[in-house]
Amino acid sequence: MFKRFGLCLSLLLALNVCAQDAAWYRGNLHMHTFWSDGQVFPEEAVEYYRSRGYQFLCVSDHNLLQLSTENWQEIGKKVTPKAAEQYLKAFGDTADKKTEGDKEFLRLKTIGELKKQFDKDGAFLLVPSQEINRSISGIEVHMNAINISRTFTFERSEIINEAFEKNEKAVSAHGENTLFMLNHPFWRYFDIQPDTLIALPQIRFFELYNGGPSFKPHPDWYSLEKFWDIVNAFRISAGHPPVYGVATDDTHGYNNHIFHGWVYVRSQKLDCDALIQAMKRGDFYSSSGVVLKDVKFDAAAGTLTVEVDPKADETYEIAFIVTRADFDRATTEFDDPVDDKKPARKGLKYSDTIGVTAKKVEGTSASYTMQPEDLYVRATITSSKQMVRPALCGPFVETAWTQPYGWQQWQQRNQKK
């Protein structure tokens, strides 16, 4: 039986209101520094993005929020002499240094100190964040906790779904304006499969694009977009909300770095709470290069309209993707055996009736009106420009993805009394 969504109408009204006089803010939700396994000081990481036009960042180091004022790094160990020299050249005026005998140390700045140094009202914002992770029986379980004020310790379980459930519950209990995100399901190699997100509808965000698997995929595996449509087809048809797709950089090394993915969030202001609430409404899109002028959904008509902000010498294709209510739910199991360092996996092949291209337009603007049987509609916008360093499973050209729309209306029409 379908759950009732008493807030559907208010959410739609809020989305329309918030779209008025709001701005698009570009941000990266996943990156690392010397606080964990990143390869630069936190100031260098923040400045790297700030100077390139990003308006908000989540410095999400592994298993900690950057709170300690006594994190001193010895020069010559993780911090090489070259890295120290580069840091002091750029930030020597504010760097904290000390010497103990013949050893020299540099202190890592806390998230509070970084916010004082870099936050600028209406122009740039750091959102306190953390990546929570652990390996369970060879499967990588990674997730981001965003807009937090303390370090979260991994909530232990040897059952993967239970681990996600426990950690999501802990993060959500921290406050209504925190955001929990399941990270890189295809890393290392299809570690997290659709059934996890189907079974855990409380997880509302996942990394749609973050580099992909570490090994060339077996031909029977689905793409990341197909993964997304599988989860949402089963969720929405069962009366649950969809999962929203995020693109991130997950930056570790910053020399010769290639930007992989980011989000554009439509918000009334550049504020942690406002950004999180906008994302929870689904008022954002993800990108690996394509920029959109606008995304509009007319709830009454069921029409999604997308407009590209075009770049010179590039052409665009806008595809509207749907899954219909009568999609084939049957699956076929396949074995993906171990091969050299590639781990063995058991996978499921899903029907081609999941994630169907309902309309495709060449150009910079297009619309699609949902049909009564459509569970949702989303748009994938591709450019003619090739990705500089594509992931093994794509995308191979610069792409943008809207969130799924129209699912509330379908559920309201099909609720069982």
β-pairing, 331-336 with 345-350? antiparallel
- Give the model's confidence band at 241: pLDDT under 50 very low, under 70 low, under 90 confident, else very high: very high
Position 417 confidence tier, pLDDT thresholds 50, 70, 90: very low
Residue 20 has what pLDDT? 62
Residue 212's pLDDT band (boundaries 50, 70, 90)? Answer: confident
Decide if pLDDT at 2 tops 90: no
Write phi, then psi, for 221 (nearest 5 degrees): -75, 150
Residue 389 — pLDDT band, cuts 50, 70, 90? confident
pLDDT in tens, 292-310: 999 999 999 999 999 999 9
CA separation for the pair 13, 19 (Å, rounded): 10
Query: To the nearest whole number, what is the mean pLDDT of the chain?
Result: 94
Alpha-carbon distance 251 to 249, whole Å?
5
What mean pLDDT do residues 214-223 have? Answer: 95
* pLDDT tens readout for residues 129-163: 999 999 999 999 999 999 999 999 999 999 999 99
Domain edges within the chain: 8-30+128-414
pLDDT (tens digit, 9 = 90+) per residue, 184-198? 999 999 999 999 999
Q: Given this model, what pLDDT does residue 18 score?
A: 47
| CA–CA gap between residue 254 and residue 252 (Å, rounded) | 7
Counting other chains too, the contacts that 128-131 makes at CB distance below 8 Å and 24 or more residues apart are: 128/58, 128/65, 128/272, 129/29, 129/58, 129/59, 129/60, 129/65, 130/60, 130/61, 130/62, 130/63, 130/64, 130/65, 131/30, 131/32, 131/36, 131/60, 131/61, 131/62, 131/63, 131/183
CB atoms within 10 A of CB 345: 17
Any idea which of 1-10, 108-117, 251-260, 277-286 has the lowest mean pLDDT?
A: 1-10
Instruction: Determine how many CB atoms are found less than 10 A away from the CB of residue 293.
Output: 12
pLDDT at 93 over 80: yes
Is it the case that residue 73 has pLDDT exceeding 50?
Answer: yes
Which pLDDT value is given to residue 416? 58
Cα separation of 308 and 292, whole Å?
Answer: 4
